[in-house]
Amino acid sequence: MSRENGALINMTPEETAFFQELGSRIATLRKDRGLTQTQLGEMIGVSQQQVVSFEKGRRKVPVSALPKLSKALGVPVEELIGTESKPGKRGPTPKLQRQLEQLQELPRSKQRFVAEMLDTVLQQTGT
């Protein structure tokens, strides 16, 4: 049974298995990124206790939380829910992803400066 908005909800065996697998993926991705349950909860707007319930599959992860979880964990929603169909190159590391997001917030002139520095470094390394 799961408690949603104060009401007990029975989960089918298929739902239980799905949410346990989803919870396991969330826990693995969170740990891989060096995040605590509290930090992940803050990033997606839920309590640490709710993150525990999600990770253990005791509580259904709301559909509305999937994009937030996806962003916080740096993976596509499809990978998060286990439906990614094609193997592909993994995205940037979480630190690099955060840096890229911060770079987008800089003024255009500073973005150009960083891009020129990257071009110079890449040319020097031959890549």
Write out pLDDT tens, residues 7-29: 335 778 888 899 999 999 999 99
Q: What pLDDT score was predicted for residue 43? A: 94
Q: What pLDDT score was predicted for residue 5? A: 44
Phi, psi of 8 (to 5 degrees): -75, 135
Q: What pLDDT score was predicted for residue 25? A: 94
Quickly count: other Cβ atoms within 10 Å of residue 19's Cβ: 20
The gap between the terminal CA atoms of the chain, to the nearest Å, is: 54
Contacts of 56 (CB under 8 A, 6+ apart): 20, 23
Any idea of the CA torsion for 85, 10, 56, 52, to the nearest 10 degrees? 120
Q: What's the CA gap between 103 and 119, in Å, rounded?
A: 15
What tens digit of pLDDT does each residue of 52-95 get? 999 999 899 999 999 999 999 999 999 888 876 555 556 656 77
Average pLDDT of the chain? 83
Mean pLDDT of 97-125: 82
The string over 32-54, giving b where at least 16 C-beta atoms fall within 10 Å of a residue's C-beta and e elsewhere, is ebebebeebbebbebeeebbebb
Q: What pLDDT score was predicted for residue 49? A: 96
Per CATH, is 2-81 categorized as 1.10.260.40?
Answer: yes
Q: What pLDDT score was predicted for residue 104? A: 79
Predicted TM-score (pTM) of this structure: 0.60
Question: Up-side HSE of residue 47: CA atoms within 13 Å toward CB?
Answer: 4
Give the residue extent of every domain in the chain.
Answer: 2-81, 94-125
- What are the tokens at 28? 């693995």
Q: What's the CA gap between 30 and 36, in Å, rounded?
A: 7
What tens digit of pLDDT does each residue of 37-57 get? 999 999 999 999 999 999 999
